[in-house]
Amino acid sequence: MVEETNTYSIACYRVKMKTILYLAVVFTLALSANAGGADKDLDWWEKTIFYQIYPRSFKDSNGDGIGDLNGITSSLEYLKEMGVGATWLSPIFKSPMYDFGYDISDFYEIQEEYGTMEDFEKLMAKAKKLDIKIVLDFVPNHTSNESVWFQEALRGHEKYYNYFIWEDGVVDSNGKMHPPNNWVSVFRKSAWEYREEVGKYYLHQFVIGQPDLNFRNPDVVEEMKNVIRFWLDKGVAGFRVDAIAHLFEVDKKDFGGKYPDEPLTGYTNDPDNYDYTDHIYTKDLDETFDMVYQWREVFDEFKEKDGLSRVMMTEAYSSPQLTMRYFGEGDRQGAQMPFNFVLISDVSGSSTAAEIKYALDKFITFKPIDKLSNWVAGNHDNNRVASRFSPELVDGINMILLLMPGIAVTYMGEEIGMVDGYVSWEDTVDPSGCNTDDPINYWVSSRDPERTPFQWNSKKNAGFSTADKTWLPVADGYEYLNVEAQRNAKRSHLNVYKDLSKLRTKKAFRQGRYESVAFNEGVFAFRRWHDKDNYIVIINFRNENYTIDLHYFENVKNKVEVVLSSIQSPKSAKDVLEPSKLRILGSEALVLKVN
């Protein structure tokens, strides 16, 4: 009996182990296959490159030192030249410009510095002719304190008063008024500002000039849906949603009628620092995700009319688990592209190949199996790729951006390897830098360096403007680091980018499978394949040479052929290499085809 029981137990164990192994294999294959998506008809947003334009810095058409809509319109052919199919414009709406467009005073009007509604319509018409989709920046969390809504609130208009979040101050034993609680602005100091007109404080999670909207008010919800409908009616193909994680604060009714203090993090002793508190009452609340799903329903209203999908991108520097919720829950659809910031937040030029692999694989691992990844290497809020990694790694990062499975998002200038520009304390205008009140270390917080004017050529102001003074100074070195110089060079970052753009249209990259490996401290590689097409992408994140064996990857039996190489690489297209002892030079990046 004991023997029979043992035999039965062993048999069960073997069956269970076979089942577990079988499920593991199926799961792995499913993940691998889905990483590039099964063979299917892809929607426009699933196969294009999104190119972010910061309008103030892209192209000035009237010589006032500020980029504008007509400048963008005149430069759309450049996007087409790169293989870009959609451009996301940072805010172009009417604004006093305390935060350069992210403090919107009228969501239905164009900022005068950028042009007129007629100029916008000309931009839309030319973009349509060139088959370039236009995506706008939607800033729902807050408005401007110069908006009609806020001004009416100060005058006692009940409807608009309820558009915002107000709270009584706290009076100490000496009769001095203090903010309602310890909530801190993203841009430092208290998130509350007192207004004598109403005798209360209003909440601003960002600058003082950006009062938060009250999304617990149904009127606000409907107003912002109407903003979306207004611009979708004008033909825009979607929105990037700014600062979405901050949309809701806790309901003070759940805390005795007072907004509670947030717990301290222990990271800093500076109460003006945003990291002083843990933002459990002001960020990533459940209601935020529901609002995203409601907006998606508005987007889909328009798709039902004309068949064109409107895309939603969400900006949230949150955990993977929270980020994935933006995709949707159950039958409810959310954003098609919850931005994946791992190339910004998780790694840098000092990261090892293993850390790079871990970061890149993370989003693919957490995302729903039927959704696409997306890749964002830079934007207007973070140091440029060439400054954060190194100028030598620009091509390698662009290979990751454009050849990994999913959707690519490029910040203007990363295709030519622009670097952060020097902006003196006197020229600094970004509130993140100005609010430090520190003329020595302001540059650590300032976002101005990554926003300097686009570098078109070696002429005055890098061809950005004919003005004697531009809104931010042009970065040093533009005389040789510019579009015109790189167009005419035999090997340049721009030409590598254009070749990558063409390469990513192949099925191996658009629909193929994916696997990756860290060969050693410096060399990260990934393979993309579809049917018999088999490619290996290699990036060396260290400035030292390595020899690697590509037989780690399956089906590498013969020689490999160079398809693309970084500009400093001595290897050229069509060079045939031995995979078993492949010499990779410091900071070199390669795209190889397996024969």
Q: How far is CA 27 from CA 19, 286, 317, 478, 555, in A?
A: 12, 30, 28, 49, 21
C-beta neighbour count of 176 within 10 angstroms: 9
Say whether 315 is catalytic: yes
Of the residues 249, 315, 450, 588, only one is catalytic, namely: 315
**Among all chains, which residue has been given the structure tokens 């000039």?**
209
What is the DSSP pairing of strand 337-338 with strand 311-314? parallel
Do 420 and 450 contact (CB within 8 A), yes or no? yes
Size of the chain in residues? 595
How many CA within 13 A on the CB side of residue 46? 18
Cα Rg of the chain (Å, integer)? 26
**Among all chains, which residue has been given the structure tokens 């069960």?**
12
H or E segment at 536? strand 533-540
Say whether 242 is catalytic: yes
Of the residues 242, 395, 420, 448, only one is catalytic, namely: 242
**Secondary structure class of 527 (helix, strand, coil):** strand
How many CA within 13 A on the CB side of residue 268? 11
State the burial class of residue 133 (Cβ atoms within 10 Å of its Cβ: 0-12, 13-18, 19+).
Answer: buried
C-alpha span between 386 and 378 (Å, rounded): 10
DSSP secondary structure string for all residues of 443-454:
HHH--GGGGSPP
What is the DSSP pairing of strand 192-195 with strand 200-203? antiparallel
Mutual orientation of helices 394-403 and 493-503 as an angle, nearest 10°?
20
Closest CA to 78 of 416, 408, 476: 416
DSSP state at residue 582: E
Dihedral sign (CA 311, 314, 315, 318): negative
CB burial readout 460-471, b (16+ within 10 A) else e: ebbbbbeeeebb
**Secondary structure class of 33 (helix, strand, coil):** helix
Catalytic residues: 242, 315
